[in-house]
Amino acid sequence: MLTAIFPALLLATSSFAATHYVSVGGTNPDGTPALVFSPNNFQADIGDEVVFTFHVKNHTVTQSSFNEPCAKMTDAWGNLNGFDSGFMPVSPNDTNLPTFTIKVYDTKPIWGYCRQLNPPSTHCRSGMVFGINTPSYGNTFYNFVQLAAQSTSQNSLLPPSSTSTSTTGSAWYTQGPQTHQIVVGGDPKTVGFTYNPPNISANVGDTVEFVFMQKNHTVTQASFGEPCRPLADTTYPSVKGFDSGFMFVSPNQTGNFPTFSIKINDTNPIWAYCRQQAANFSHCGVGMVAAINANPYSNKSFFDFQQLAVHQNGSGFVDPFGNLTSAPSSTAVLPGSGKSAEKDVAANLDAGDSDSTLSASQLKRIYDLAPVALGLIGLALILLTALLSISIVLLRRSGKSAPPTRSVNPEYQQVPLTMPSSKMTDAGSHDYETPRYSD
């Protein structure tokens, strides 16, 4: 009976699956290219299909992630694991338009973009992105578009606006130093405690500019082995790393955001974190870390660095997509998840966040002194035990040598004892009748 029901249920489910059609590109009424997916944000059920139809120009449908809207989705080791249609060139005279179809297997959000360049910008930064099953709060489609507009993921692919050298019959350009922007923080209910993008590659001579958004964050250099401590506290002899200090940005601020820049002097990996402490968690402990030039194929990748930060200083786990589970109770929108915890700690994160909490160096001193303190406490306990033992022995010995005491009735009066005078006879007896000295 059941074996007959299950196929029927599957058939019924498949019969209700819908097909969603999305137009890719095209031309605006004024003749300019339409850099859009239409519709660009919709809901789809499990089993539904989405058919992308390509129009004029040359576009792609490429899966990305919320945190990096304009970069192909990869796993923890840097391997591509999202769909990509490849470029689909369409001329104005084409009538047989190419399509690309994906199937929806779960209700998780699907993020995507067109990876075509449009110097000096890109299609993605121009808003050519889409979302399927996006949440209505947290990691919303609106926030995804905003992140895409600020993305620097494709900067290295754009021709630089630097000096070009040309000769007759040939032309080339010499790529000069670039500036990479990383956005720090933002509204915890939408962007989360993140650096965006958190992991970049930069050449020697490039500049990395950190742009601070809402709340109060730092960018502080660390070592791989101890992600949430300043570099100076974990290197011997001490190496002074960069530290922006706390950069408070009002929730109402809309421009003139503070920045902090570093210059890339070599290709060695650079590790950084936010050293802010909330009421019951640290920003670093929920994955607010960044890396420059980390090797994704080694055991010291950005993913490994973030996992180590959470393992040492948090109570959660970051999966290959940046989602953190079993996080501390707070309003930390965790990297890539959009999930907030129960209660906002805004009172601590607004103007009150500063260096008021213990720094990593102070904690290190406490940790270093802890064994000495425990040893002194143990020695004190041993001495106290010895003194108590000696006291007990002395008390027992003094108790044995003391004369016994007995209580006396205060009404008792001693009766004087008077022995009668007597005289001892020759036989050795007493003669009480004869006075003692009668002789």
3-state SS assignment for residue 374: helix
pLDDT in tens, 383-412: 889 888 888 888 877 765 556 666 666 666
Q: Do 262 and 128 sit in the same domain of this protein? A: no
Q: Which two tokens stand for residue 222?
A: 């660390």
Lowest mean pLDDT among 90-94, 196-200, 236-240, 286-290: 236-240
* Beta strands 129-132 and 41-42, pairing class: parallel
Residue ending a domain, among 368, 388, 416, is: 368
pLDDT at 347 over 80: no
Query: Mean pLDDT, to the nearest integer, of 123-147?
Result: 92
219 in Cβ contact with 260 (< 8 Å): yes
User: Does 83 have pLDDT greater than 50?
Assistant: yes
Same structural domain, 356 and 224: yes
Rounded Cα–Cα distance for residues 206 and 267 (Å) = 11
Among 248, 431, 264, 274, CA closest to 351: 248
Residue 160 included in any domain: no
Highest mean pLDDT among 114-118, 233-237, 326-330: 114-118
Residues 6+ apart with CB under 8 A from 171: 164
CA distance 166 to 157: 21
222 confidence band (pLDDT: 50, 70, 90): very high
- Average pLDDT over the chain, rounded to whole? 76
What is residue 401's predicted lDDT score, i.e. its pLDDT?
Answer: 56
260: Cβ–Cβ under 8 A, 6 or more apart, which residues?
209, 210, 212, 219, 244, 247
Confidence of residue 424 (pLDDT cuts 50, 70, 90): low
**Least confident span in 7-16, 31-40, 60-69, 327-336:** 327-336
Within this chain, do residues 290 and 188 fall inside the same structural domain, yes or no? yes
- Number of domains the chain contains: 2
How many CA atoms does the CB half-sphere of 269 hold within 13 Å? Answer: 20
User: Are residues 188 and 127 both part of a single domain?
Assistant: no
**Tokens 């973030």 belong to residue:** 306
For 62, phi then psi, to 5°, come to: -125, 130
Here the tokens at position 145 are: 């578009």
The CB density around residue 373, as the number of other CB atoms within 10 Å, is 10
Given 123, 154, 185, which residue is the final one in a domain? 154
Across residues 146-171, what is the average pLDDT? Answer: 61
Helix (H, G, I), strand (E, B) or coil at 2: helix
pLDDT at 432: 61
Write the CATH number for 90: 2.60.40.420
Whether residue 204 is contained in a domain is answered as yes
Verify that 32 and 80 share a domain, yes or no.
Answer: yes
- Which of 206-215, 218-227, 274-283 ranks highest by mean pLDDT? 218-227
90 with 230, same domain: the answer is no
* Domain shared by 101 and 194, yes or no: no
- Higher per-residue pLDDT: 348 or 126: 126
Q: Does residue 224 surpass a pLDDT of 80?
A: yes
Claim to verify: residue 124 and residue 256 sit in the same structural domain: no
pTM for this prediction: 0.40
| Cα within 13 Å of Cα(267), Cβ side | 3
H or E element at residue 170: strand 170-173
State how far the Cα of 64 lies from the Cα of 154, in Å rounded to an integer. Answer: 13
- Whether residue 328 lies inside any domain: the answer is yes
Q: Where residue 97 falls among pLDDT bands split at 50, 70, 90?
A: very high
Q: Mean pLDDT throughout 44-72?
A: 93
Same domain? For 272 and 234 the reply is yes
Looking at residue 263, its amino acid is: K
Task: Examine the pLDDT at 335 and tell me if it is beyond 60.
Answer: no
Higher confidence at residue 272 or residue 137? 272
Whether the predicted pLDDT of 110 surpasses 60: yes
| pLDDT at residue 190 is higher than 50 | yes
Say if 418 falls within a structural domain: no
Residue 5 lies in a domain: no
Q: What confidence tier does 220 reach under pLDDT thresholds 50, 70, 90?
A: very high
Q: Provide the 3-class DSSP secondary structure of residue 143.
A: helix
Residue after which a domain boundary falls, among 341, 368, 395 = 368
What CA–CA distance (Å, rounded) separates 185 from 189?
11
> Which structural domain, as residue segments, surrounds residue 29?
14-154
Percent of the chain's residues with pLDDT above 90: 31
Q: Does residue 122 register a pLDDT over 80? A: yes
pLDDT at 271: 96
Distance CA 89, CA 113 (A): 16
Is residue 336 located within the same domain as residue 200? yes
**39 and 184 housed in the same domain:** no
Instruction: Check if the beta carbon of residue 430 is closer than 8 Å to that of residue 424.
Output: yes
If asked whether residues 184 and 149 sit together in one domain, one would say no
Q: Looking at residues 330-350, what average pLDDT do you find?
A: 36
Sequence letter at residue 31: G
- Of the listed ranges 15-19, 139-143, 367-371, the one predicted with least confidence: 367-371
In a domain, 377, yes or no: no
Q: CA 336 to CA 338: how far, in whole Å?
A: 6
In a domain, 134, yes or no: yes
Most confident of the ranges 106-110, 283-287, 303-307: 106-110
CA 230 to chain CA mean position, Å: 16
| Closest-CA residue to 112 (of 196, 40, 25) | 40
Higher pLDDT: 335 or 349? It is 335
Least confident of 191-200, 352-361, 364-373: 352-361
pLDDT at residue 395 in the model: 80
How far apart, in whole angstroms, are the C-alpha atoms of residue 29 and residue 43? 28
- The answer to whether residue 390 is domain-embedded is no
Classify strands 179-184 and 207-212 as parallel, antiparallel or unpaired: parallel
